[in-house]
Amino acid sequence: MKYVILVYVLFSGVAFAGVSDTSRYTVYYFLGEDCRICEYYAPEINRLDSLYADADIQFIGLFPSRHSTEKGISDFKKKNNVAIPLKLEYFATKTKEFGVTVTPEVVIYDNWQKQMLYRGRIDDSYVRVGKRRRVIQKRDLEYLLGLLQAGDDLAFTESDAIGCYITFR
């Protein structure tokens, strides 16, 4: 008698190097290795990681596009000196769960309460694709991370992210 066993693995959001399942909050950056806006934000991603990453707040970059590859992500990490863990999200599980449609877009997720606290842009650098402000006026993500680090509770908020549309598999 022969048995065929099919194993279907879904990305859970916690089972890979550099990411803890004990952190209270996870900041998910949804990125695309061929998106110039994502490249622009690489230094800001590193800056926020160095300021706010601790036992309660962790950062991870996810690449949900059907065009993303392990090599492309590795090249993106090297070229842009990205310090946070980066992962190919082959099935776009988190992307679809959170309703993310463009890169870069960010989600702050409360792992204890199992709820999304924020979805949207990193800051208001971009007015539209191809049009960047000379001066950043609002640093949405940094403001919210400051509140979390200070111990404040957040109600869900969102802003419109401007970037490259995600093409799903």
Q: Give the pLDDT confidence of 46-84 residue by residue, as tens digits.
A: 999 999 999 999 999 999 999 999 999 999 999 999 999
pTM of the full predicted structure? Answer: 0.86
Q: Where are the domains of the chain?
A: 25-165
Give φ, ψ of 140 to 5 degrees. Answer: -55, -55
Q: What is the mean pLDDT of residues 147-167?
A: 93
Count how many residues are written for the chain: 169
**Above 70 in pLDDT, residue 90?**
yes
CATH number for the domain running over 25-165: 3.40.30.10
Give φ, ψ of 88 to 5 degrees. Answer: -75, 125
DSSP assignment of 63-93 equals E--TT--HHHHHHHHHHHT--S-EEE-TT-H
What is the spatial distance between Cα 160 and Cα 87, in angstroms, rounded to a whole number?
Answer: 24
**Above 70 in pLDDT, residue 19?**
no
